[in-house]
Structures are given as C-alpha cells and as structure tokens.
Structure 1
Amino acid sequence: MAGRKVSDANNFLSICVLMTTLWNVTHTSTEHEFIANYSKGSLPTVPKHLSEQTRVLDLSDNSISELKTSDFRSLSNLQVLTLSYNSIRELDFSVFQYNEALEHLDVSHNKLQKISGLPVKSLKHLDLSYNDFITVPLFPKSGKTLKLNYFALSIRSISSVSALLDLELDTLFLDLEYLSEYSPGSLLVFSAKTVRIVAPKNTNLHIFLDLQFSGTESLEFSRISLEQVEDLEMFLSKLNKKSTLQNLTVVDIKFTWENLLNVFEAVGRSSINNLTILYPTITEFQDKYFDADLSLKSFAIKRAQLNTVEFNQSIVYSTFSNLNTEALTISDSGILYMYCPVRPSRFKYLCFQNNTLTDTTFKDCHHLAMLETLILQKNRLEDLSEVSLMTRSMKSLNYMDVSQNRLQYKESGNKCDWDGNIIKLNLSSNKLTESVFRCLPNNIQILDLQSNQISTVPKEIIDLIALEELNLASNKLNAFPGCSHFRNLQVLNIEYNFVLDQFSEFSQTCQSIQKLKGRHNPFRCNCELREFLNLPKRSVELVGWPDFYMCEYPYDLRGTLLKDFHISELDCNVTLIIAVVLVVALVILATVTFLCIHFDIPWYFKMIWRWSQVKHRIWKTKSEEILENTQYHAFISYSEHDSDWVKNELIPNLEKEEGSLRLCQHERNFIAGKSIVENIIDCIEKSYKSIFVLSPNFVQSEWCHYELYFAHHKLFTENADGLILILLEPIPAYTIPARYYKLKALMDKRTYLEWPKEKRKHAFFWTNLRAALQIKLPYIEEMKELGSAWMGKNLLSV
C-alpha cells in the first residue's frame, strides 16, 4: 500500500503536465480535433488508417514492441502520444520526423535500453522512466541544447550525469530505485529548476552526500529509508542561505522524532522556505522539544503514521503549534488536539484537514491574531456556536472551512459570536438546518451551505448585507429563497433541491442576482415560473441552461425543457382576466343594446308577453261561463277622427277571414230606433271584449267617455278581463280631462297595445290582437246550425 502511494506521488507532476497538455490541445484545436484511445487493446502494432486529424493518441497497455516511421507518417497534427506499458526495446526518434507538432511523448514502463536520433523540435515532455537503461542515454550532438519542460529517466548505474547538463530542463525526474553501481565521491550536479529523485533501495549507496544543484528551486526526494535519513540530514546541513533551493518535498520517508527535529534544524539554517513531508512514518519517539529557530513560509505534513507505542502528544502538539512559519498543514494524520501557541504566532494559514479535532480546539486562544485562513475540514466538530467562539480572538481571520463535519446549531445553546472579519465561510456537508441563518458572521461575503438539511430561508434572520455568493445546493429547499436579508447577493446556487415553484418572492427581492445555478430541480411549470423564464432577459446567467432545466409537474409536462414551456399572460394575470371579461361583457351588452334599439326587440318581447298572457287567460276561461247571448267578439269604441284607421286597418285585419271574428261597430250594428246609450250598453253587453282605440281625439269625445264608463262598469260587475286598450297615438297625461279619471286609472294599471308605425311590426300586432279575441261564441255557432238546417229544408222541398 505504501509503495503504491509513493508511486502515485512520484508520478503526480508528470500527470499534471499531461493534463495541462491535454487541456491546451483540446481547447486550442480547431473544429476537426480528434482523440484516439486504443489503450488496453492487446495490440501488437500501431493501428493503421488513423485519422489524419488525430491530435491525441493513446496506445498504452498493449503489446507493441516496434515503432516504424510509417506508423505515424500521416499524423502531421499529432501532439500527444502515449506508449507506456508496452514492450518497446529500442526508440529511434526519427520515426517521428513527420510529426512536427508532437509535444508530449510518454514511453515509460517499457523495455528500452537504447535511444537514437534527435527528438523533434516541438517536443516538450519526454518520459523514459521505468525502462531498462543501464546509464544515462546520450543524445547525438547537434550543436543546439535540447530544451524540455519535463524529462523522466530511470537508470541502474551512475558513472556521470554530465549528459543531463547538456539538456535545458524545467523538471527532471530521476528514478534511482534500482541503482546498483555508483562510485562514491562523484559529483551529481543538476541544473533543472525542479528535480525529483527516487532514492536507491541499496542503502549502501550514499548518493545524498554527492548531490549538488545549480539553479534548482524545487527538490523532491522519494522512498528514503531510516538508514538514509542521516545522509539526508548531512545534505541539508551543507545548504546555506545563498542556495537557490526554495522548496523541499520528502515522500515516503521513515525517521525517528529526533530525525525530524534535526531536519527542522538543518532546514532552518538553509534557504528552504517551504517544507512538505508526505507519507512519513515515525518509527521511534523521543521526549525532546524543538527549541531551534525554524523560519519558514510553509510547513506541511500529510498522511503521517506512528509505528511506536510510546508517544507524548503534548510534545508533538506544542512543537507544531509553536513553529515559526506562516502556513502550517497537518492533514490525514488523526491528530486529536492542537495547542494554542504560547506566544503571538506568525501563522496566517492553518490546515488540519481530515483529523479528529473537536469543538474545544483553539478555545480561548489569544495568540492567533495574524491568522487569515483556518481549515478544519473533515474532523469531529459538532456545535456551530462553539466553532464561532473559537474565532473570537482571530482578528485577521477572513476564510474558514469547517465542511464535512457533524455541525448543528441549537438555538437553545450558546449564542454565536463570530469574529467580524470573516468574509468567506464553508459550512457544507454538515447537519445544519434553516436555524443556521441565525448563527452567521455579519460581514460574510461568500457562504457555502451545500449538502445540509435546509428546507427554507427563514423570515427572521440576521441581515447579511455584504453577502454576494450563497451556495444552497443539495439541500431540501421546496421554494426559491428570497433575498430580503441579503440584498446584494450576486451568485446563488440551488442545484439538486426540492425546488418546485413560489418564485415571486425571489423575483421581487433578488434584483442583484447575476448568476443562478438551478440545475437538476423538479420544477413546477405554472404561472409563477414565467418570471423565472424571464431571468435571461434581465442579464442573469443561468448555469446549465437550457439542457438541465425541465418540468416535473404537472405530469403531462414532465421532461419538457423549461425553454419550451409557454403559458399566456391571460392565463396568469387575474387582473387582466377580470379586465378582459368586463370588456367582453361590455362589448356584448353594447352589441345587444344596439341590436335591441335598431330592431326594436323589446317591443317584440312585450307583445309576446301579452300574447302569452291572453292565451293563458283564454285557457283558464271555460266556454260554458260565457253568456249565451254574446254575439260579438269585440265592441269597438273610437273617435270619429280615428274612423279611417278603424275602417281601413282594424276591421279589415280582424274580419279578413270568413267566420273568423265578429266586431260590433256603431255605424253598422246600432239598432235604429234605440237611443245611442241603449245601443252602446246593448253592444257592450253582447260583446266578449271591448276595444278602445285611444288617441288625443278619444279623450275629446263625449260618447267615447260613455262607452268607456259602461265597459268599465261591466268589468267590475262581471269580474272579467274584457277591456283591450289600443294606443293609436301617444296621449300626454296633461291632456286627459279630470273627468277621465277612469281612463287614467286603466292606463296606469292595465297594459295596452301600441300601434307600431313600422310596417314590419304590423303582422305581429294583428296576431297578438286576434289571439286576445279568439274564442268560440255560442250564439254564432247556433246561428250557423240554424242556417244549415233551413237551407237543407228548402232543398228537400225543391
């Protein structure tokens, strides 16, 4: 397991270089770029007919043993070629003579013993490590210095490394793990800016004593055994403040606690500013404090293991907490506690990631006034209020990371008391609920609450006026949060929540939003969502739009992209709907009113109503109740001035059909010898109804007054509805004499028929009038029978 970790560390830089190259290739190439991956295909040779546009070709983990010029002749655009983990024994760089764009070549983990030819001028990364080279391979002399960003080599014998000085390198990786031949006293001089050396397994080869560096800034040693630690200490002790070395990294080293303190002391006297120890194993512990001066910019120890039972935690914690360095990292080492410095500290950066620290760490610590960054990620912190109290004396603290803990905030516990200068806080991956918004630094600008248990943003929280970026992804939000308490919010992340709708508050209060991350949420596609769809028009960047924004509800729209969801303004605006309904109603009412006025429809309705009333009364009237001596359907009373209308319109239309209606008119039906009054009374008594043709002339006629009086008298004596009033012409009320009080009463209480001036209404008028008079008269029927019998008798006598 340890060997694998060291191998990963040794290849870390080459992987970074490879990824950088791939990034540059894939992001600067044209639209015809092409990546061909043939790894792990058991290929014995390079595949034929590769695309000429191929830029990245991966042939790793195959069985290729030989390379030919024809294999790559057509690949003029090739930039990255990986041939690691094959069986190649010889490499002639001339096979790449047609690949003038080649920048990255990895031939590691093969069986190379010999190389020949010169690499193409464009080559920047060459990995020849983990092959079968005995000594440093020589490149042919060309008169020009070969420049490479990265060069990796594994050798088994060192007689001279002068050949490496002919190369101008940024990074040199030299694997000496299987070094078997070495002449002590030979100077091993390296000039690359970064040198990474894997120490020999053979501890009798003391190469550290002969190492020298010219212009090297970063140095990394790997796989240093306990027996080689003293050689490393001696190498470091030879360094002075004038050395160019700035960064020292030691990977997979075994040492005692005393060895570590000696390394600290040697580094403190050198030019090294940054010391990193990865995968260390402490084999023995001595009760010894570090009291020398170690002035560093940064010190990091990661994944430390302790292979001893005796271990004084107090010595370890006090040693690390009182180091004279600006940045301290102790991660993945299981430390339980960390002491507060005994004097004002230079610490600006502290990282204790992935340990077992609790809430009591740095409690009442007054010597971290210069601390700017504190990272306590992946520990055992549980109480957010206790964490806030931790920062009270950290006056310079502006960034704190307490993510991936077990933090909760209970309002019944201690009150939160954050340092007022914290502007960036990471609380992600904890157990926090919406109560966390009552326990936050006032001046926070960037807040990460991802992966908690927050379901809403409460209405009553502290005002976070300075907050610019808020991450609420992977929580339990069921509505868009508002920004009433953080009005300057510019970036909001609500991805992977239960967000459905309720967008109105967000739209009204989050006016400063510039970027919104809302992917992978179950959106409810309704009216409120229309405002959300208008965000791009407000210059708000929707990250992942439109492919990751889909409707979840209603079910018939599930899977529909929000950009394809459309709903009209009329369906959503209640005020507009009411306005439209009112406008339509007014238009219809105006149209109906116009049609009624134009076609006089109310008159037709009034006449139909009267006709139906007459029919109803006729139906209720029994024929046997009509007097036996009734001879006429109606008696007509009118003024002589209206006689033309009566003779030319009224009588012809009512008596136009034979045997239809029988009218009593004084000119033709009054009996000679009787007085006028007797004739009037006689006609009214023998008529089913009385028709009065009303006009201004009518009220001026004395006889009309008598006729109306007698008819009105019959109305009350017989309790019948025998009056029909026809208004031939309008009669102003002031023209009716006082003695015509009965006429006034009748016109006020009884309905009357108006003679229409339009000819198209005449037919309807006569229909209604005939319906009011239509009834079988017994007297008429008897006369018809007598007439038929008399005619039959005469016919027989003939």
Structure 2
Amino acid sequence: MMKILESIPPISSAFIILFTSMLVFSNTQLPTNNDFIVKHSKRFLDRVPKNLPSETTMLDLSENNLSLLLSSDFSSLTKLKLLNLSYNLIRELDANIFRFNSKLQHLDLSHNHLKNITCSSLQHIRGLQYLDLSSNKFENIFHCKEFSSFLHLKYLGLSATRIQTSYLKEIEHLGTLHIFLGLEHLSYYEPGSLQVLSTDKLHIVLPVFIQDTFILNDIMNTSRTLEISHFRCNKSCDYLMESLSTISKNSKVSTLIFNNITVTWQDLIQIFKAVWYSSIECLKVHHLMLVGEFPYFVPFNYAKTSLKALSIQHSTSKIFYHRGPPHPSQTYSEMMIENFTFVDNDMIHFICPSKPSIFRFLNLARNKLTDTVFQNCDNLPLLETLILKYNRLEKLSAVSTMTSSKKFLKHLDVSNNKLQYENGEDCHWSETLLTLNLSANRLADTTFGCLPINVKILDLHNNQISHIPKTIMTLTFLEELNLAFNWLTELPDCSHFSSLAVLHVENNSLHSPSSHSLQICQKVRVIKAGNNPFRCDCDLKDFINWGKQSAGDVIEWPESYMCQYPEDVKGTLLKDVLLSEVSCNTAVLLGIILGTLAGIMLCISCLCLYFDLPWYFKMMWNWTQTKRRIRNTNPKDIQKNLVYHAFISYSQQDSIWVKSYLIPNLEKGDGSVQICQHERDFVPGRSIIENIINCIERSYKSIFVLSPNFIQSEWCHYELYFAHHRLFTESSDNLILVLLEPIPQYLIPSKYYKLKALMAKRTYLEWPKEKRKRGLFWANLRESINVHLPKPNQETVKVFNINQENDSEPNTCSLNLIENTTYSAVL
C-alpha cells in the first residue's frame, strides 16, 4: 500500500507537476500502491535528512537550501525511483553520489547553481527515463559519453549560455527524446548547432533578445513537434516571420506550439499566413497576449493549406477597439480547416462562415457565447463535433434549433451553462446527433420532452431532475444515460430506453430501488449507483441481491454502496446487510405461519384422538351445564332432592349378579332402602346424560360394580367420570367401589386414569367367593348407604319402570332405553 510519512506537509503543486511530467515524458506511472513517498520540500533544509526510510521509492527535497550533496546522503535508498532536488542551491555533485541508486528513473536537478557535472556521477543510473538539468549555470551544454548508455531516456532538460555543435554531439543519437532547452540567457550561438538534433519534440525558451535568424532557422527543422515559449514580438517579429517562411511543404516539423507569447493582431495574422502553406498540420497558440489594435479586415486566401487543426487557448486582449467592419473573429470562421479550438478567450460571438465551411470539429468552450450563436447558420454542413461548454447559453430549445441545419452533427457538448426548458417550447434537433452532453445546467424533469430522438449517449448529470415523466418520447437508440448528481428517488423507467446498456445514477436520493425497476432494466449491463442514501430494509433486498450477483457490472461495488438508514446500520456496506427471506417475503412468512398452525392442529388432533379428548370435552360441557344449574339452586333444596340411597353403575354382562344379589340384598323388600336403577328410574324424554346426572344428584351414594366387563363399557366410564367430579366439587364421600372380579392393572386403558387413581387411593369392597363371608359384605354395604332420606315430592314419583333385561352390548352399562346400553348416574 502507498505510504506517506504523516509528519510531512501536503504535497505541493511543484511535486504534482513533477509526477505529471513523469507520466507525460517518461511513460512511467504515477505513484502506485506499492510506492513509499517521503516529502521534505519547503523545510529550509541545508542538508539531506539522516535516517531516511530504506523503503523510500519517491523522495522530494525541492525548494530547500541544499548546497552540498554527499556520497552517503542516498546510499541507504536502494529502492529509490524518483528524486526531486529542484529549486535548491546545489553547486556540484559527488562522483559516487548515486552509486547505490541503480533503480533511479526520475532525477530533477533543475533551478540550482550547477556549473558543471562529473559524468561519472551518472554512470550508475543508466535506467533514467527523465533527467532535468535546466535553469542552472552551465556555460555550455555538457557532453558525456555516458549518454550513449541511456537507452531508456525519454526526457532531457538542458540550459546554457553558449550553444556549440561539438557539445550536442553526445545527444544527437537520442532521437526519441523530448528535449527542453532553456536559452533565455543565451549569449552565443554557433549557426547550425541545433540542426544536429533529431528529436520527437523540441521545447525551446528563446532568448529575450534575438540578434539574428540563425537560431530560429535551425529550430524550424529539428523535430516533428516544436514548442516555442516566452516570445514577444517587438523588433524580433521580423526574424520570426522570416524563419517561419523557411518551413516548406517538405519540412520535418508537423506540429508548432507557441506558448506564452505577446504579439499584435497583425503579427498573429502573419504567423497564420506563414504556416498556411507549410508542412505544419497542427498549430497551437497558448497563453496569447494581444496588444495594439485591430486593423481593417484584410482578405486572405485560406485554400490549399496543409493545416488541419488550429488551437488558440487562454488569450488575453489589451485591444479595446477595432476599425471594422467586419469583426476580427471572422478571420477564424472563414478558415478552411477541419479542426478549430478557441478556448477561454472571452469571445462573445462566433460569426457564421459566409460560405460553406469544412469545419468538422469546433471547440468554443469557456467563452461568453449566448443563445444567438449559430442561429440560422447553414454554412457548417460538415460539422460533426461542437463543444460549447462553459458559455452563457440559457434556452435548450435555442440550442436544438442551432443544430437543426447541421446534417452531419454527431457530438454536442453544451455542459456547464445555464440551460433550462419549459413545456411548450419547440425543439428541432439534428437527427444525426448521437452524443449529447447537457450536464451541469438547470434542467428539470421537463427536459425529457426536448431531446434528440436518435441520441445514443446522453449526459444529464448535475442537474435538477427528480424523476423521468411517463409521457416522454421513447429514445429507442439510447445506450448510455448519465443521471448522476440529480434528485432521483427511484431508478429511471427503462421501458422508454429499450437499448440502454450503461446507467449512472450515483449521488442521487435513492433510498430503496424497487424490484420492478430492476426487472424493467434487465438489459442494463453496467450500472453506477453508489453514494446514495440507501434505506436498508426489506424494500432494498432485491437490489442488494442484484448487486451481489452482478458485482462485476456494478461500478464501485461494494465500497460506494452503504446504508444511510436506519441509524443502527448506518455506514454498513450493502453487501454485509442480512435481510432474511422469511422476514421480507410476506407470502413465505404467511406460508410458514399457516404451515406451522396446520402442523400444530394436526398434532392436537392426533393427541385428542389418542387420549380420547373429544369425550372429555363433551363430558366437561355437560358437567358445566349441570354445575350452572346447580349454582342457580339453593343448597338446602339440593339436600331435599335426595330420593335414593344409592345409584348402581354396572356392566350389562354383570346385570344378573346385580339383579339377583345386589338389589335384593339392599332393598329387602321393605322399602327402607331406595336403589336407583336406570331401567326403572330414568325419566323418559330427557337425554341420557341428563338422566345420569339427575340420578347421581338425587342419590346419597354411587355404587360401582367393578369387573373386567366394567372397563370395557364406555357408558360406565361416563358415569364414573361424573361421580368423580362430584367427589371433588362437593367434598362428599359418595363413591362405593365393589370389586366383583379382580381387574389386572394392564387391562385398564390409559384413558381410565381416574379409575386407576380411585382403585389406588380408595378402599373398595371385594365380593367374596366363600358364602360364609357374604353376610359381612352385605352388612358393610348396607351400613355405608344407611341414611334417613327426606320424603319425596310428587315430582319424584317414578313415571315408569323397566324390568326388561337386555343381554346385548356386552361392552356397555345395562340400559335398554337408548342404544341397548345401561346408564348409571355418576357422582
């Protein structure tokens, strides 16, 4: 990872320029992630700091007071690739100073006090790609045989006060170099010296005063690209024009650059005329200062030129009037060249050519052009690219009208203006327009009602668009749409853009892009949607899954995609947010809930069937109804309602014993003991359950004749159930268990848990098999039911008796009235 010492102040502009020069001139890269940068510029140092980190790869010591460099200063920096020592006071270099820096690629010693260099000091750094020795105090261009070993050198900066042919011999073979010559203090020049050079590019700073044309004549044929800086037209302009005229159609130079020059308008026109019929194909004039006045327009034949491109950038005019007409800008509009750039020159209008022009590329950025530019201009039939950014355009409809007559216009850039569009304004775009840049304007949603129908690349970033109206025209051919830095709250409706492949919506107000938007934008291959205030809830789940699955096509994923809401996940990367399918999918959640409930109900149903719970619920309901009736009855009335001494519950299979032994031995025939028997005492018309409960309520005791047959009878179990409930609800000892036959525990079903409990906890009478013991048995049984009962009311008189025996249904209590089953009251 790239490291910069924390104690070091921010990188200066000089250091940035240094890195830029590395990129441009030496084909090396700017600092990479593996570079270790140490910066000590502007620290008033008079010595190289000691103990520099051995891993340092880039070291900046510029703008200090260093005067002497020792051989040990950089001996520990074996990984050093860049060293900036510019703007110091260095007078000389030690012969072994770079002995341990064989990996050095970039060395800047410009703007020092060097008068000479020991060539042996360079023999250890033969991998140099960039070497700047300009702006020192060299008298002559130093010559070293070591230059023959610099096979990778791409940039060489030199300066001298004397130029001689012999001193340039050592570098003449470096034909691919970019050579910079600072000759502002030149005192002597040997004619023909610069002609030995054969370079790709020669950048020369001319002397302040030029005495003759020798140096100008020589530089006009030394390289393919020639840059002349710091030139001022006074008396020397004649020398320049004369030298420019020597550039013929067969000359080597093809690109001519004037940088930081001061001329009159007449001189500028003469420069144009001088190069018009030469070998120059590209003329660039940067940082132009115009002085004097504009003369009357002088006709000039612009035909048959080799010039293909003219660029004038950053000009300042001290001319406040002209003698026109016509306007001086007509000089530019009438030029018969393909490419014209006129940038940052305060131009307020560009005159339409008077006849069909061959302009294919026009760059008029950073001027003061208004909506009137190119209106009703039909003489730009071949124009393909028009750049009008950073001007004063205000109406989008006027811009569209401006393009309507340009039948070959493909690319238009009107960004960084003040463009607006109101509904109802007429728009007439060129049908050939493919690329349109409308960024950084004041355009709103209505803009989509005024767009070229065949556009393929549309840039609308940094405007005031909140959504795309549903009524817009369909842009069938649109492939790339940039809506970054707007006010969008939802992804655009891609149904209007059937060919859309690239979409930029970063830095908007997107909270939760809907799944519907993602579905209709399935054809979009590349999307950039980072730096939005995402709300990380279930509505964002589809977008997160889509981002994970398409990470290669989502630009800056995942580092630019973070949650903004809610607060507990603010700052969390979207890829790290966990949103389960269950919590976000209502259908899945409902299915799980219903499935769980169905499972629970199924389990309950199985348990109910297994434990015979329906029977218990039925009995509880009947018992509840009975208890409600009892609560509404006076307790004294309940005691008065006792009619029977005992109620007998038995299985039908045991009815012979009951009728032959039990009842006769209890009643004795004298009426002193009243036994409730269902066959004679149940009231017709009432339900079986109600009869059972009434008999239990009107009987002092309940006698249960227990046998294996008893446990097989459902109705016997009902009667036992009710009797057991009475035992607990009335706190009465009303149950008498008579064991007719032994009952093994394993024969008792699990649902008869009450019977098991009663047999385990209560004393029961066991029917003796020996006759001699039966007298005591009957005595005990009669004694247990011996009680004085109140006289019965008329209502209690038996309505009917049933003495018929029924031998069917062996597994039920004996009752012949209903289902041939015997019912007994249960306490």
**Could you tell me how far 1:473 is from its partner in structure 2?**
1.4
**Could you tell me how far 1:148 is from its partner in structure 2?**
3.4
Q: Which residue is equivalent to 1:346?
A: 358
Counterpart Cα distance in 2 of 1:767 and 1:82: 107
Residues 110 and 607 (structure 1), Cα distance of their counterparts in 2 relative to 1, 3 Å cut: same
1:430 maps to which of 441, 455, 458:
441
Q: Which residue is equivalent to 2:568?
A: 556
Q: Which residue is equivalent to 2:586?
A: 574
**Could you tell me how far 1:53 is from its partner in structure 2?**
3.5
Q: Does 1:329 align with 2:341?
A: yes
Residues 630 and 42 (structure 1), Cα distance of their counterparts in 2 relative to 1, 3 Å cut: closer
The amino acid of 2:382's aligned partner reads M
**Could you tell me how far 1:291 is from its partner in structure 2?**
1.7
Residues 364 and 627 (structure 1), Cα distance of their counterparts in 2 relative to 1, 3 Å cut: same
Identity %: 36
Counterpart Cα distance in 1 of 2:321 and 2:244: 28
Q: Which residue is equivalent to 2:229?
A: 222
Q: Which residue is equivalent to 2:550?
A: 538
Q: Does 1:18 align with 2:27?
A: no
**Could you tell me how far 1:387 is from its partner in structure 2?**
0.9
Which 10-residue stretch deviates more, 596-605 or 461-470? 461-470
Per-residue CA distance 1:115-140 (angstroms, 9 max, x = gap): 12153422222111111223323335
Counterpart Cα distance in 1 of 2:583 and 2:693: 56
Counterpart Cα distance in 1 of 2:15 and 2:249: 30
Residues 306 and 215 (structure 1), Cα distance of their counterparts in 2 relative to 1, 3 Å cut: closer
Query: In 2, are the aligned partners of 1:172 and 1:194 still within 8 Å (CA)?
Result: yes
Counterpart Cα distance in 2 of 1:648 and 1:435: 108
Question: What secondary structure is seen at the aligned counterpart in 2 of 1:460?
Answer: coil
Matches within 5 A, 1:317-716: 317-414=329-426, 416-534=427-545, 535-538=547-550, 540-623=552-635, 625=637, 631-632=643-644, 643-644=655-656, 668-669=666-667, 671=669, 692=678, 704=680, 711-712=683-684
Q: Which residue is equivalent to 1:89?
A: 91
Per-residue CA distance 1:306-332 (angstroms, 9 max, x = gap): 212213474323221111111111111
Question: What secondary structure is seen at the aligned counterpart in 1 of 2:310?
Answer: strand
Query: In 2, are the aligned partners of 1:633 and 1:775 still within 8 Å (CA)?
Result: no
Which 10-residue stretch deviates more, 149-158 or 517-526? 149-158
Matches within 5 A, 1:173-322: 173-179=180-186, 181-182=187-188, 188-189=194-195, 190-202=197-209, 204=211, 209-227=216-234, 228-283=236-291, 284-293=293-302, 295=305, 296-311=307-322, 312=324, 314-322=326-334
Query: In 1, are the aligned partners of 2:378 and 2:406 still within 8 Å (CA)?
Result: yes
Counterpart Cα distance in 1 of 2:273 and 2:82: 44
Question: What secondary structure is seen at the aligned counterpart in 2 of 1:243?
Answer: coil
Counterpart Cα distance in 2 of 1:56 and 1:639: 109
**Could you tell me how far 1:340 is from its partner in structure 2?**
1.8
Query: In 2, are the aligned partners of 1:607 and 1:768 still within 8 Å (CA)?
Result: no
Alignment gaps of 5+ in structure 2: 1-11, 696-710, 735-784, 791-827
2:167 maps to which of 145, 163, 169:
163
Alignment gaps of 5+ in structure 1: 1-7, 652-664, 673-678, 694-703, 728-753, 785-798
Counterpart Cα distance in 2 of 1:541 and 1:472: 17
**Could you tell me how far 1:191 is from its partner in structure 2?**
2.6
Query: In 2, are the aligned partners of 1:76 and 1:101 still within 8 Å (CA)?
Result: yes
Question: What secondary structure is seen at the aligned counterpart in 1 of 2:337?
Answer: strand
The amino acid of 2:130's aligned partner reads H
**Could you tell me how far 1:755 is from its partner in structure 2?**
8.8
Question: What secondary structure is seen at the aligned counterpart in 1 of 2:362?
Answer: strand
Per-residue CA distance 1:508-537 (angstroms, 9 max, x = gap): 112123322222211100113222222232
The amino acid of 1:182's aligned partner reads Y
Question: What secondary structure is seen at the aligned counterpart in 1 of 2:610?
Answer: helix
**Could you tell me how far 1:403 is from its partner in structure 2?**
0.6
Residues 758 and 56 (structure 1), Cα distance of their counterparts in 2 relative to 1, 3 Å cut: farther
Q: Which residue is equivalent to 1:117?
A: 119
The amino acid of 2:505's aligned partner reads I
**Could you tell me how far 1:302 is from its partner in structure 2?**
1.1
Residues 116 and 604 (structure 1), Cα distance of their counterparts in 2 relative to 1, 3 Å cut: same
2:104 maps to which of 102, 105, 126:
102
Residues 561 and 633 (structure 1), Cα distance of their counterparts in 2 relative to 1, 3 Å cut: farther
**Could you tell me how far 1:217 is from its partner in structure 2?**
0.6
**Could you tell me how far 1:648 is from its partner in structure 2?**
11
Which 10-residue stretch deviates more, 36-45 or 368-377? 36-45
Residues 214 and 141 (structure 1), Cα distance of their counterparts in 2 relative to 1, 3 Å cut: farther
Matches within 5 A, 1:712-723: 712=684, 723=691
**Could you tell me how far 1:500 is from its partner in structure 2?**
0.5
Which 10-residue stretch deviates more, 140-149 or 387-396? 140-149
2:46 maps to which of 21, 44, 47:
44
Question: What secondary structure is seen at the aligned counterpart in 2 of 1:519?
Answer: coil
Q: Which residue is equivalent to 1:133?
A: 138
Per-residue CA distance 1:408-451 (angstroms, 9 max, x = gap): 1111222x222222222111111111222222222222221111
**Could you tell me how far 1:355 is from its partner in structure 2?**
0.8
Counterpart Cα distance in 2 of 1:70 and 1:39: 20
Q: Which residue is equivalent to 1:731?
A: none
Per-residue CA distance 1:359-404 (angstroms, 9 max, x = gap): 2211122222221111000011111122112111222222111110
Question: What secondary structure is seen at the aligned counterpart in 1 of 2:495?
Answer: coil
Question: What secondary structure is seen at the aligned counterpart in 2 of 1:96?
Answer: coil
The amino acid of 1:692's aligned partner reads H
Counterpart Cα distance in 1 of 2:136 and 2:729: 125
Counterpart Cα distance in 1 of 2:14 and 2:237: 19
Question: What secondary structure is seen at the aligned counterpart in 2 of 1:304?
Answer: strand
Q: Which residue is equivalent to 2:747?
A: none
Q: Which residue is equivalent to 1:699?
A: none
Q: Which residue is equivalent to 1:794?
A: none
Query: In 2, are the aligned partners of 1:344 and 1:369 still within 8 Å (CA)?
Result: yes
Q: Which residue is equivalent to 1:744?
A: none
Query: In 2, are the aligned partners of 1:487 and 1:509 still within 8 Å (CA)?
Result: no
The amino acid of 1:522's aligned partner reads P
Per-residue CA distance 1:750-795 (angstroms, 9 max, x = gap): xxxx995499877524325778999999x998679xxxxxxxxxxx
Q: What is the TM-score with the length of structure 2 in the denominator?
A: 0.77
Counterpart Cα distance in 2 of 1:783 and 1:124: 130
Aligned residue pairs, count: 701
Question: What secondary structure is seen at the aligned counterpart in 2 of 1:374?
Answer: strand
**Could you tell me how far 1:12 is from its partner in structure 2?**
11
Query: In 1, are the aligned partners of 2:626 and 2:693 still within 8 Å (CA)?
Result: no
Residues 146 and 474 (structure 1), Cα distance of their counterparts in 2 relative to 1, 3 Å cut: closer
Query: In 2, are the aligned partners of 1:480 and 1:501 still within 8 Å (CA)?
Result: no
Counterpart Cα distance in 1 of 2:117 and 2:241: 37
| Structure of greater relative contact order (alpha carbons < 8 Å, 6+ residues apart) | 2
Query: In 2, are the aligned partners of 1:611 and 1:771 still within 8 Å (CA)?
Result: no
1:767 maps to which of 720, 724, 729:
724
The amino acid of 1:489's aligned partner reads L
Counterpart Cα distance in 2 of 1:93 and 1:197: 30
Q: Which residue is equivalent to 2:705?
A: none
Q: Does 1:724 align with 2:692?
A: yes
The amino acid of 1:104's aligned partner reads H
Question: What secondary structure is seen at the aligned counterpart in 1 of 2:47?
Answer: coil
Query: In 2, are the aligned partners of 1:614 and 1:771 still within 8 Å (CA)?
Result: no
The amino acid of 2:39's aligned partner reads N
Which 10-residue stretch deviates more, 141-150 or 416-425? 141-150
